[in-house]
């Protein structure tokens, strides 16, 4: 399965956060698209509308397990996708910005 590290990501890379609503509200990457894994199949069209046509979809969750499952699903659909190794825990530990649902500094739960 294609995997990227948080350090591999640069500003402007497309990021899909598949954590649940409470996790998202507590803290997420500011520019990420949020589609919870539990709703992913029914909301798949939101991803195809938002994702870059010629770019990779970087999938993130808290630690990498859920995002790995979604990454495999996307690859089966022919979408260029990669799992973000270590997820939002590594994102936050690396000093990358985390905001809550009001745009204020957030935390990863």
pLDDT in tens, 30-89: 999 999 999 999 999 999 999 998 899 999 999 999 999 999 999 999 999 999 999 999
* Confidence category of residue 11, pLDDT binned at 50, 70, 90: confident
Q: Classify residue 37 by its DSSP letter.
A: G
Backbone angles phi, psi at 39, to 5 degrees: -115, 5
For residue 22, pLDDT beyond 90 = yes
> What integer pLDDT is reported at residue 20 of this predicted model?
98
Percent helix, strand and coil across the chain, each to the nearest 5? 35, 15, 50
pTM of the model: 0.97
User: How is the beta sheet containing 57-60 ordered, strand by strand?
Assistant: 3-4, 81-84, 57-60, 15-17, 33-34
The rounded distance, in Å, linking the Cα atoms of 5 and 7 is: 5
């Amino acid at each position: 399965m294609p995997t990227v590290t948080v350090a591999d990501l640069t500003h402007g890379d497309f990021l899909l956060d598949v954590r649940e609503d409470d996790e998202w509200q507590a803290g997420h990457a500011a520019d990420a698209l949020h589609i919870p894994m539990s709703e992913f199949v029914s909301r798949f069209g939101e991803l195809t509308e938002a994702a870059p046509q010629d770019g990779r979809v970087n999938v993130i969750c808290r630690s990498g397990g859920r995002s790995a499952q979604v990454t495999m699903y996307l690859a089966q659909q022919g979408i260029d996708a990669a799992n973000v190794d270590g997820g939002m825990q590594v994102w936050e530990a690396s000093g990358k910005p985390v905001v809550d649902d009001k745009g204020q500094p957030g935390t990863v739960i």
